[in-house]
Amino acid sequence: MLLPRRLWLLLAPVVTLVASCAPPVSSSRGSAEFTPPPAVAPPDPGVAPPMVELLAPGGPPIPPSARPQRQLAGWAESMADELNIPRAALQAYGYAQQAIEAKSPTCGLSWSLLAGIGAVESSHGRFGGARLDETGRPSKPIIGLPLDGSSGVKRIPDTDGGEFDGDTVWDRAVGPLQFIPSTWRDWAIDADGDGVQDPQDIDDAALAAGNYLCSVGGDLNDPQRFWAALLTYNASRSYGQEVLDYADYYGKTSHALQAEG
């Protein structure tokens, strides 16, 4: 769950939607090979992360020839069933890695990290029985619990007039990667060139999440920056560990990411 930047260090752990499926039994969860990064505090708000050049949120649409639906189809198709990730979601994660890598190679964002987040947040857009269509949108909107201050939930009064979450009293996290409406306004981007910046569209959400993580972490190849960036996405170490378990499994099981003509 993405919180506004001004709240990163002020809020206790927040509630997130939990994926409806676990990694396959061959996952590295608990294996001797998997070593989580060291426990570190989130970044000091007075210390800027290393500078990375980002794809501009709210910028011009991406040309149709570069849209995720027209790239990486074979790569995604080759392992969608094995990883239990919809093809549209895999294309979105892979495209986000490639797009950010081309703009900011020093960030080190991986598609498997985005896939780990997508697994925990919404089972890759399948939460509540939803299914992703070929454009990367769920068959029904994915909307989280009201952030009304009840047990285990932060109190965030409505910031979007219900535009994204349908709730005019409280904010709710929205879409496959569970953006808070106010955070989506900061990071919204049209990744698939359809003219809409939509948090329910996994193409847009994956690229926005990648931008967010690179902005916070700077160099995600640094274990401490990586872990700190993940904790600003959701300030819960158990959440972070679950994301890492999924990402580790996906990375070890997948084929190499490569562009297609």
Is 158 inside any structural domain?
Answer: yes
Query: At CB < 8 A and 24+ separation, what contacts does 148-152 make?
Result: 152/15
SS3 155: strand
Eight-state DSSP code of residue 66: G
- Alpha-carbon distance of 127 to 166, in angstroms, equals 17
The tally of domains found in the chain comes to 1
Is 55 inside any structural domain?
Answer: yes
Q: Which amino acid would we find at residue 124? A: H
Is 228 inside any structural domain?
Answer: yes
Is 156 inside any structural domain?
Answer: yes
b/e 42-75 (16+ beta carbons within 10 angstroms → b) = ebeeeeebeebebbebeeebbeeeebbbebbeeb
Eight-state DSSP code of residue 53: -
What range does the domain containing 180 cover?
Answer: 5-20+50-253
CA nearest 192: which of 57, 66, 55? 66
Is 31 inside any structural domain?
Answer: no
Is 140 inside any structural domain?
Answer: yes
Residues of the chain with pLDDT below 70 are 1-71, 256, 258-261
Condensed to tens digits (0 to 9), the pLDDT of residues 159-169 reads: 999 999 999 99
Q: What is the pTM of this model?
A: 0.77
Is 25 inside any structural domain?
Answer: no
Is 39 inside any structural domain?
Answer: no
- Token pair for residue 23? 């990694």
pLDDT for the residue 258: 60
- Alpha-carbon distance of 89 to 85, in angstroms, equals 7
